[in-house]
Structure 1
Amino acid sequence: MATMASTCVLVVLSIVNIVYGTSEQPDQGFFLAVTSPEVGRKASNIYVYAIQTDVRFDDGTFELSKETGLVSTSVKAGALIADGIQWGCYLDVGLPSRFAGTRFGRYTGDFTPDNGGSVETRYTFVRPKSKFLDTRGVYTVTAYPESEGSSKLAPIDPIGVVFSGCRSYRWCKGKKRLRNTGPRLALTSVEDGGLYTISRGSRSKQGWYVQILVIIASCPEGSAFTGGTCDTRECKNGGILRDLSSDCICTPFFGTSDCSCVVPAREDDLFTLADTRNGEELYCRDLPGGNGKCKGLLVCYGDNYGCKCTPGWYGNGCEQPCPKGRWGANCVLHCPSEEPDCSRFFGPSTNLRSNGCS
């Protein structure tokens, strides 16, 4: 089947000139998101979103595509509009009448600005529900060098699937087949970066596979490449340093230059993905197929951040609430001992602006 692609033009619909972040919430630029990131053979529609919040661009063209192709009659494209702003585009991918596995795999989004800037590319993933291909919610992994300039990686958990008794796993890195690999693969060198595909033998031709993107950072964890060297820089609340930059990429709901504050500080059904200085906001509930608390939403900023569930959720489908005492994107952060029942979305109460954070 031919490659599927959908194009739509970003047109600013309101008098405000541009879509961009506030002084509290840094521009995240162009990013992709998907709901649901894990689907079965008979699951309902999935939605892939391309969202632009960067101050540099007034308008441009989005293209969403999938390398393995999709049945065209099962795909619909539309503009993502909220608060009088066109934030980007989305694909509504229904269940094909044949070859349900064609929905699985990596989706690519390109944004080409009309004012002459460079093309930006991001990825997101959709995988099958399968006990044999269970990666426990891992879509991307960021690995860091052991020291500045080293080709050896700092210790990192192996990637792969949970062993379920199946021994017929097949691994490929890019288009190259790997030999002698079981359910897990150790990462030891900066050469181990790239896109890995794990399948069950011949079933991969039917789309039954999962993919993990390994991102290799240029500097050790907790440091940024500035002034020709790697210097220490802290991003709070699960934020990640951009590669070759001292800027933080904040998880959804968080802002300021070091991701120290919640934007906005509330736990109702208004969970902000992006906003403008004129007050227009994009909420998870504004997304076609979305819901108020961002359940089931995988957000992919690329760079060193990769893809993570929105704060408060984890799992292959980003639909499992954080267990008690855990919070943040993919639920990887721990509540402080003095507040063991902190918000699974926003963490300790000291993050909230009403408690002195501004």
Structure 2
Amino acid sequence: MVWLGPPLLLAILFLASHVGAAVDLTLLANLRLTDPQRFFLTCVSGEAGSGRGSDAWAPPLLLEKDDRVVRTLPPGQPLRLARNGSHQVTLRGFSKPSDLVGVFSCVGGAGARRTRVLYVHNSPGAHLLPDKVTHTVNKGDTAVLSAHVLKEKQTDVIWKSNGSYFYTLDWHEARDGRFLLQLPNVQPSSSGVYSATYLEASPLGSAFFRLIVRGWEPCGYFLWVRCGAGRWGPGCAKECPGCLHGGVCHDHDGECVCPPGFTGTRCEQACREGRFGQSCQEQCLGTSGCRGLTFCLPDPYGCSCGSGWRGSQCQEACAPGHFGADCRLQCQCQNGGTCDRFSGCVCPSGWHGVHCEKSDGGDPLRSRTLDEGHFGGHVSAP
């Protein structure tokens, strides 16, 4: 697979997105706010000591529209950046739908931990929409990008990679109302922002995707070594800890980047409903909780709905038996355990473990309670 865009742009995307490791940085978008004048983005940093003590002179959080790959018309008016202390910034002031389309980025952390989190926003009125915006895969995997037809046109579909022409699909090749792009044996050059657009249609009608090929290590300026699943570090010689609940092993230090709603060394603990951040220290505000919010975390995680929610606008509750971010996880509870869509298996008195399969042996001081933010059982993706 050959990437057709400028080599420097690829290097900038990788470096900006991967410098540092496991920084507690979250970029949120409320997908329920379809009116541009009400829409806003918020970036939250949970880094310890942010803005205090030795970090007092650390670079501030930055939140901006990123025009390096997806170029759209300039905003109708200057966007406004508001700061809520040193740990949170909000970007608002969008005046028309085209202002929202494209890539946004938040940069936080200091020194070697300076990290960029990317978010790709699609217009809800586009001709094509992605079934899933962010795809995280390992070197050698096959990635499949699926563009759902919202407004059918009898014309070919042009696929672009990082803004450059990549592939053409005849309009007859749509299957079940979708255009699929298969990328076998993905390599470092496969990473980036992809788009699917009807021929001669406005880019604002495109479906935009982000593909992350997990596990890289710089060797010189433009040479990259890629680790496969479960490996990290120099020469990919080290094993990941086995991240649970959809957590992704960071390619630099082997730490698990946990989905919103989970915490712990291996993402083994569920936060209380409506909580997020590496220590569950942040809370979704309002009566709807995390409904309608998309959460973007440092690579190689990417973006997803919060725990307990799924769908293109993150407004659909998980189906029975499913839980976690994007409802990707499946409960397999035993011994009377019940499936909670935010946390997984909740075990009855006398049982604990991933599937409530372990007996407490009559010990009255059984596993920690729901209120403490720890739950009896959790399962990884099936």
Q: TM-score range by the shorter chain?
A: 0.7 to 0.9
Q: Structure 1: which 5+ runs fail to align?
A: 1-25, 146-152
- CA distance in 1 between counterparts of 2:99 and 2:200 reads 15
Cα deviation for residue 230 of structure 1 reads 4.3
Q: Structure 2: which 5+ runs fail to align?
A: 1-20, 171-178, 216-226, 348-353, 355-366, 377-382
Query: Do the aligned partners of residues 332 and 194 (structure 1) sit closer, same or farther apart at CA in structure 2, a change above 3 Å counting?
Result: same
- CA distance in 2 between counterparts of 1:49 and 1:43 reads 15
Q: CA RMSD in A?
A: 3.1
1:124 is aligned to 2:127: no
Cα deviation for residue 210 of structure 1 reads 2.5
CA contact (8 A) 2:41 2:91 kept: yes
Which letter does structure 1 place at the counterpart of 2:28? A
Query: Do the aligned partners of residues 209 and 93 (structure 1) sit closer, same or farther apart at CA in structure 2, a change above 3 Å counting?
Result: farther
Residue equivalent to 2:148: 162
Superimposed CA distance per residue, residues 237-294 of structure 1 (whole angstroms, 9 cap, x where no aligned partner): 2211112321001112211111111234xx4xxx222387xxx943110xxxx65520
Cα deviation for residue 227 of structure 1 reads 7.4
Tell me which of 55, 67, 70 is aligned to 2:75: 70
1:187 is aligned to 2:183: yes
1:31 is aligned to 2:26: yes
Residue equivalent to 2:14: none
Superimposed CA distance per residue, residues 146-174 of structure 1 (whole angstroms, 9 cap, x where no aligned partner): xxxxxxx2344x10312565443222111
- CA distance in 1 between counterparts of 2:112 and 2:298 reads 18
TM-score (norm 2): 0.69
Residue equivalent to 1:7: none
Residue equivalent to 1:149: none
Residue equivalent to 1:171: 159
- CA distance in 2 between counterparts of 1:199 and 1:326 reads 33
Residue equivalent to 1:343: 340
Query: Do the aligned partners of residues 111 and 244 (structure 1) sit closer, same or farther apart at CA in structure 2, a change above 3 Å counting?
Result: closer
TM-score (norm 1): 0.73
Cα deviation for residue 141 of structure 1 reads 0.5
Cα deviation for residue 119 of structure 1 reads 3.5
Residue equivalent to 2:283: 283
Which letter does structure 2 place at the counterpart of 1:161? A
- CA distance in 2 between counterparts of 1:241 and 1:274 reads 16
1:135 is aligned to 2:130: yes
Cα deviation for residue 225 of structure 1 reads 3.2
CA contact (8 A) 2:275 2:283 kept: yes
- Which 10-residue stretch deviates more, 119-128 or 57-66? 57-66
Residue equivalent to 2:10: none
1:247 is aligned to 2:255: yes
Residue equivalent to 2:271: 263
CA contact (8 A) 2:240 2:255 kept: no
1:55 is aligned to 2:48: yes
- Which 10-residue stretch deviates more, 63-72 or 209-218? 63-72
1:110 is aligned to 2:107: yes
Q: How many residues end up aligned between the 2 structures?
A: 299
CA contact (8 A) 1:235 1:259 kept: yes
1:134 partner SS: strand
Aligned pairs for 1:319-338 within 5 A: 319-338=315-334
- CA distance in 2 between counterparts of 1:231 and 1:181 reads 40
Identity of aligned residues (%): 19
Query: Do the aligned partners of residues 29 and 211 (structure 1) sit closer, same or farther apart at CA in structure 2, a change above 3 Å counting?
Result: same
Cα deviation for residue 44 of structure 1 reads 5.8
- CA distance in 2 between counterparts of 1:131 and 1:43 reads 15
- CA distance in 2 between counterparts of 1:239 and 1:126 reads 23
Residue equivalent to 2:15: none
Which letter does structure 2 place at the counterpart of 1:52? S
Which letter does structure 2 place at the counterpart of 1:210? A
Which letter does structure 2 place at the counterpart of 1:154? D
Cα deviation for residue 201 of structure 1 reads 3.3
CA contact (8 A) 1:223 1:233 kept: no
Query: Do the aligned partners of residues 43 and 260 (structure 1) sit closer, same or farther apart at CA in structure 2, a change above 3 Å counting?
Result: same
Bigger CA radius of gyration: 2
Query: Do the aligned partners of residues 244 and 132 (structure 1) sit closer, same or farther apart at CA in structure 2, a change above 3 Å counting?
Result: same
Residue equivalent to 1:354: 369
Query: Do the aligned partners of residues 357 and 185 (structure 1) sit closer, same or farther apart at CA in structure 2, a change above 3 Å counting?
Result: same
CA contact (8 A) 1:199 1:209 kept: yes
1:101 partner SS: helix
- CA distance in 2 between counterparts of 1:221 and 1:296 reads 31
